[in-house]
Structure 1
Amino acid sequence: MTVASYHALTRAPSGGAPLVFAFHGTGGDEHQFSALAADILPAAGFVAPRGDVCEHGALRFFRRTGEGIYDMEDLALRTRKMAEFVAAHRAENPDRPVYGFGYSNGANILAAVAFRHPYLFDRIALLHPLIPWTPEPSAGLSRKRVLVTGGRRDPICPPEQTGALLDYFRAQDARLELVLHNGGHELRQGEIDALRGFLTDTGMEMEKCP
């Protein structure tokens, strides 16, 4: 299968380990979470695409016209492209769980893909997402494991927007986990610890809802 065009950092999985996709934030690149992923799941396969939109020298996964104002046509186009990219890697690693996590802009492209193609990921971790639109209902998200993290004083991802996203996932009957800290847009250790637990948890019968 031809993989959609992204420059990406990749690592093959060992044994029965999962395949993990990591999506960087604005200004990051494919290396942003490579050490973290290797520390959390050293045997896992790893795929980290590099955003191919440049905003004043900072890499992103889709265009915007201002803070929190997205170019929705561009987002739709790049969501399709990213879905093809993920699907191709998933097909190359059959019978493995596929997990995705992303931070900020990376969380937003991951969420956009998951809204339309929920079958592509078995677990989805969104670190400081900002979804300023109302996604269409998606039956495929029912019982899907979703982690959302954020800051109560985040000026980029306001708490009311996070709340709207949580309401959306609850309406889809997702298995939702929430971790908030009292800071802003920065990643804190509690979020990293939550991500570690989320990606490594084998107690699938347990449901953790806020």
Structure 2
Amino acid sequence: MKHFFHNSKESDDVFILLHGTGGRETDLLPVAGQVDLSLSVLGIRGDVIDNGHFRYFKRNADGSMDEGSLLLKTSDVIHFIENAASTYEFEKKALHLIGYSNGANMAVSLLMHKPELFRSGLLLHPSHPLKSFDDTQLNGLDIFMTAGALDQIVLPSEAVQLKQHLSQLGASVSFFMTDHGHELRTTEFTEAAKWWKEKIKQEKKGK
């Protein structure tokens, strides 16, 4: 998979960036930079092409989510991340996902299928993939989610249902809703940074 890797000397932790439909592996660098500049960054480009746009998994003809494709590509992305950890020599247990839209849905699937690989997830405007999935425990996993009150692509109710689902699986979920649509807003970055700093503070207290 096409990707880039930035190695940090300041931290052993790594942000994994998963872009939205039509994006590139560098799209979420501003989010990672505002949340925490000290981390290494692995940006992954989706290798499914839909009308010339890069995605992580296919859609059905009616535009709905192809869960079969999501499951198949989830395995591919996990395999890629594990190989990248060996190639770039980073710890597999110090990974934090940042995903937007299609990339956020892939991040949800990654968390559900391989929770031990990740320490946290920032899910920007996800829908609710894998609604019936209840075969994993997300205890100890920190998740920050955002949604748009006027979003016509992902209804806010979908995001609320996902929050409830992840919480039922044991995750600690923080939720922020903008007054806008599906587009990313700077307020989301600011709130994500606040959440991250509080998370780090709590982790230090626990040591």
When the two structures are superposed, what TM-score results if normalisation uses the length of structure 1? 0.87
- 1:38 CA drift (Å): 3.6
- 2-side partners of 1:51 and 1:184: how far apart? 23
Give SS of 1:69's match: coil
Are positions 1:11 and 2:6 aligned together? yes
- Compared CA separation, residues 67 and 31, structure 1 to 2 (3 A): farther
Question: Match for residue 115 of structure 1?
Answer: 112
Q: 1:95-142, CA deviations, whole angstroms, 9 ceiling, x for partnerless residues?
A: 762111110001011111111111111011100001244142254311
- Compared CA separation, residues 95 and 184, structure 1 to 2 (3 A): closer
Alignment: residue pair count = 201
Question: Match for residue 125 of structure 1?
Answer: 122
Q: 1:122-175, CA deviations, whole angstroms, 9 ceiling, x for partnerless residues?
A: 011100001244142254311210111010111111122112101101211211
- Which of 149, 153, 158 pairs up with 2:150? 153
Are positions 1:41 and 2:36 aligned together? yes
Are positions 1:171 and 2:168 aligned together? yes
Q: Is the 8 A contact 1:115 1:135 kept in 2?
A: no
The residue identity in structure 2 corresponding to 1:188 is: R
- 1:23 CA drift (Å): 0.6
Q: Is the 8 A contact 1:68 1:132 kept in 2?
A: no
- 1:61 CA drift (Å): 0.6
Question: Match for residue 134 of structure 1?
Answer: 131
Q: Is the 8 A contact 1:53 1:61 kept in 2?
A: yes
C-alpha RMSD over aligned residues: 2.1
* Gap runs ≥5 in structure 1: 1-5
The residue identity in structure 1 corresponding to 2:5 is: T
- 1:202 CA drift (Å): 1.4
- 2-side partners of 1:113 and 1:167: how far apart? 18
Percent identity among equivalent residues? 26
Are positions 1:53 and 2:48 aligned together? yes
Question: Match for residue 3 of structure 1?
Answer: none
* Gap runs ≥5 in structure 2: none
When the two structures are superposed, what TM-score results if normalisation uses the length of structure 2? 0.88
Question: Match for residue 29 of structure 1?
Answer: 24
Question: Match for residue 192 of structure 2?
Answer: 195
Moved more, 87-96 or 52-61: 87-96
Give SS of 1:62's match: coil
Q: Is the 8 A contact 1:18 1:44 kept in 2?
A: yes
The residue identity in structure 2 corresponding to 1:23 is: L
Are positions 1:204 and 2:202 aligned together? yes
